[in-house]
């Protein structure tokens, strides 16, 4: 992992490649987002533009293919990396995380209502298959004792998307900050977490 971060920090083209290639894979898109966050943390938005655009290209492809996950992760991690760069406070980042991710998910859902419906239908199909398996392995009396299972509605789907994206975004930002500390400030990552305090309202 350290070697990958060192490669990404050799120059803008290397960082762009290190961000774009993993984003082309759904399973590694968090790694591309981490590279984007590392660039923003180190250089700011201006000098990271090429890296952000490079990561957004495969993310846009996945959006066209029906998955907004990579795009959401990259957009939100850029915002949170900027918050961390300017404020240097994980407390602020944790407070802003649900706001930024929630606002972005809400915007995407209003723009792409068909995506929410697609996810809802997937859950509905999975639930139907699960119920069919239960019906084939249990008696009618046993089935009647089970609580009724219903597929999530649109609001619940939005909530699940926001929760999953928050976890992914937070993980990508943590990896980026860990890389930054390893390369430029050994021990700084640990000190930041020891200083972490959640604010009370």
- Contact (CB, 8 A) for 97 and 37: no
- What gap in Å lies between CA 98 and CA 91, rounded to an integer? 12
Give the pair of three-digit tokens for residue 82.
């900027």
Report pLDDT digits (tens) over 49-61: 999 999 999 999 9
Q: Token match 């249990």: residue?
A: 138
- What gap in Å lies between CA 117 and CA 182, rounded to an integer? 43
Of 35-44, 88-97, 107-116, 167-176, the one with minimum mean pLDDT is: 107-116
- What gap in Å lies between CA 14 and CA 109, rounded to an integer? 33
Report pLDDT digits (tens) over 99-112: 888 888 778 778 77
Of 32-36, 42-46, 194-198, the one with minimum mean pLDDT is: 194-198
Q: How many domains does the chain have?
A: 1
Domain around 23 = 2-112+162-194
- What gap in Å lies between CA 130 and CA 113, rounded to an integer? 26
Residue 144: inside a domain: no
- What gap in Å lies between CA 2 and CA 6, rounded to an integer? 6
Residue 50: inside a domain: yes
Residue 127: inside a domain: no
Residue 22 has pLDDT above 90, yes or no: yes
Residue 8 has pLDDT above 50, yes or no: yes
The pLDDT, as a whole number, for residue 201 is 47
Q: For helices 49-64 and 12-23, give the axis angle rounded to 10 degrees.
A: 20
- What gap in Å lies between CA 66 and CA 179, rounded to an integer? 31
Residue 183: inside a domain: yes
- Contact (CB, 8 A) for 91 and 197: yes
The pLDDT, as a whole number, for residue 195 is 66
Residue 132: inside a domain: no
The pLDDT, as a whole number, for residue 68 is 85
- What gap in Å lies between CA 161 and CA 159, rounded to an integer? 5
**Nearest CA among 26, 22, 21 for reference residue 65:** 26
Residue 200: inside a domain: no
Of 25-39, 106-120, 171-185, the one with minimum mean pLDDT is: 106-120
Residue 68: inside a domain: yes
- Contact (CB, 8 A) for 77 and 32: no
Residue 47: inside a domain: yes
User: Against a cut of 0.95, is the pTM above it?
Assistant: no
Mean pLDDT throughout 145-159?
74
């Amino acid at each position: 992992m350290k070697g990958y971060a060192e490669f990404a920090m050799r120059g803008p083209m290397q960082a762009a490649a290190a961000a774009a290639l993993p984003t082309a894979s759904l399973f590694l898109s968090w790694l591309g987002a981490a590279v984007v966050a590392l660039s923003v943390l180190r250089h700011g938005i201006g000098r990271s533009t090429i890296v952000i655009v490079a990561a957004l290209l495969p993310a846009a492809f996945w959006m066209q293919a029906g998955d907004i996950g990579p795009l959401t992760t990259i957009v939100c991690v850029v915002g949170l990396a900027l918050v961390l760069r300017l404020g240097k406070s994980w407390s602020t980042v944790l407070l802003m995380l649900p706001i930024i991710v929630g606002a972005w998910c809400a915007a995407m859902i209003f723009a792409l209502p068909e995506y929410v419906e697609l996810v809802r239908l997937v859950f509905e199909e999975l639930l139907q298959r699960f119920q069919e398996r239960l019906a084939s392995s249990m008696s009618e009396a046993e089935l009647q004792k089970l609580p009724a299972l219903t597929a999530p509605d649109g609001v619940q789907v939005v909530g699940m998307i926001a929760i999953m994206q928050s976890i992914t975004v937070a993980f990508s930002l943590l990896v980026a900050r860990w890389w930054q500390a390893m390369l430029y400030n050994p021990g700084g990552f640990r000190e930041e977490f020891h200083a972490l305090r959640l604010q009370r309202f």
